Chain A
Amino acid sequence: ETGVTQTPRHLVMGMTNKKSLKCEQHLGHNAMYWYKQSAKKPLELMFVYNFKEQTENNSVPSRFSPECPNSSHLFLHLHTLQPEDSALYLCASSQAEAGSHTGELFFGEGSRLTVL
């Protein structure tokens, strides 16, 4: 496989469930990102990991918990979500973030989350 792969593509969960989104990149990148894409809103950056270290948490509620075990894998653990958390969650990767000025991100296809 090449590129950035996200699983599952679709997820429906209740507010009391615990689930996880997974992202894997095969590009040799060192920075990985979680974005939230809601209808009629700009993409919202949630978390950034650079060389497995979290470098940004954009005031994301604690019901979203990221995990980056290595530079190729990124998880988003979900628990006690709210209906307003329903959105498309996009994973992206890039070359090492520090000093990177090109701005090119490589995105996965996203995980469509519905919270009932």
Chain B
Amino acid sequence: AQTVTQSQPEMSVQEAETVTLSCTYDTSESDYYLFWYKQPPSRQMILVIRQEAYKQQNATENRFSVNFQKAAKSFSLKISDSQLGDAAMYFCAYKQGAQKLVFGQGTRLTINP
């Protein structure tokens, strides 16, 4: 079974600095999707960024970018110019074909003003 591991239960960063959240996954498949979801306190979980495994180019969405290392099965999220509104739980997730999303345990990100 596929598993997703986020080894950092908590992270903190100074406002305006850059932070990287780690995620590794286990799969024998070659075609799949990876995601980062954000869950702010008492608010809805939303999709931050998506990466297709067949694409070599790392996905980027404004201040959010990923470092996708397929051979290493690593999918880290980089947040540049951190803002107070970035404080949230961040979940890494994996999906292959029609199978369901598999989530990691989450990383709680704190932004220090």
Residues of A within 8 A of B (CB): 3-4, 40-43, 45, 48, 56, 90, 97-109
Instruction: State whether A3 and B35 are in contact (beta carbons under 8 Å apart), knowing that A99-B98, A103-B50, A103-B95 are contacts in the complex.
Output: no
The residue of chain A having its C-beta at the shortest distance from the C-beta of B93 within the complex is: A103
Whether the Cβ atoms of A100 and B98 lie closer than 8 Å is yes
Q: How large is the interface on B (under 10, 10 to 19, 20 to 34, 35 or more residues)?
A: 20 to 34
Instruction: State whether A109 and B33 are in contact (beta carbons under 8 Å apart), knowing that A45-B100, A103-B95 are contacts in the complex.
Output: no
A-B pair count, CB < 8 Å, reads 49
Of the candidates A42, A48, A107, A108, the one whose C-beta lies within 8 Å of that of B100 is A48
Whether the Cβ atoms of A103 and B44 lie closer than 8 Å is no
* B85 located at the interface, meaning its Cβ lies under 8 Å from any Cβ of chain A in the complex: no
Q: B104: which A residues are within 8 A, CB to CB?
A: 42
Enumerate 29 A-B pairs (CB-CB under 8 Å) in ascending A order: A4-B44, A40-B9, A42-B102, A42-B105, A42-B106, A45-B100, A45-B101, A56-B100, A90-B45, A97-B98, A98-B98, A100-B98, A101-B95, A101-B98, A102-B33, A102-B50, A103-B93, A103-B101, A104-B35, A105-B37, A105-B45, A105-B47, A106-B44, A107-B44, A107-B45, A107-B46, A109-B42, A109-B43, A109-B44
